[in-house]
Amino acid sequence: MKTSPFGSTITADDIIDTVGFFDSWEDRYKYIIDLGKELPEMEAAKKDDVHLVRGCQSQVWIDGEEVDGRMWFEVDSDAFIVKGLLGVVLAAYNGKTPKQITEFDIENYFDQLGLIKHLSPTRGNGLRSMVKRIQSMATSVSTH
């Protein structure tokens, strides 16, 4: 698993603070797209049906592993905005314990960013599908 800045040097609070500086949604979208460029490249071998997230308009792949009680995720998408959204999600979840992941109020986080109301319904559903995949990975680790 490649080291990612999300969850360590780029946190959910950092993203909330930064988004608050932008007056327009166009600037916020550019910032989110730039976040996606910070994601480490996912191995091509992991871009398969096992890692594919269903319910997303774009292709999205998520892999996760638990190391010393903390979850680390590797993600990718074929769409720039979705890569950025994955970065937003990883900032909240990467490096956290399974319990922290399942207890984190992701809807409140998205509300603070004003995110869902500015996404198309299909993008919003895709974002929730990504979150569900990560939460289910955390749940499966915590029950083993």
27-56: pLDDT as tens digits = 999 999 999 999 998 999 999 999 999 887
Look at residue 3 and tell me if it is in a domain. Answer: no
Look at residue 2 and tell me if it is in a domain. Answer: no
pLDDT exceeds 90 at position 115? no
Look at residue 5 and tell me if it is in a domain. Answer: no
Look at residue 96 and tell me if it is in a domain. Answer: yes
For residue 61, the cross-strand partners are 52, 76
The structure's pTM equals 0.93
Average pLDDT on 120-135 reads: 92
Distance CA 108, CA 64 (A): 23
Chain centre distance of CA 4: 12
Look at residue 70 and tell me if it is in a domain. Answer: yes
Distance CA 93, CA 79 (A): 21
Instruction: Write out the catalytic residue numbers.
Output: 56
Look at residue 4 and tell me if it is in a domain. Answer: no
Residue type, 115: L
Look at residue 6 and tell me if it is in a domain. Answer: no
Give the whole-number percent of the chain exceeding pLDDT 70: 97
Look at residue 87 and tell me if it is in a domain. Answer: yes
pLDDT band at 77 (very low <50, low <70, confident <90, very high): very high
CATH number reported for the structural domain that contains residue 87 in this entry: 3.90.1010.10
Instruction: Find the domain containing 95 and state its range.
Output: 12-142
Q: Domain total for the chain? A: 1
Q: Are 34 and 84 in contact (CB under 8 A)?
A: yes
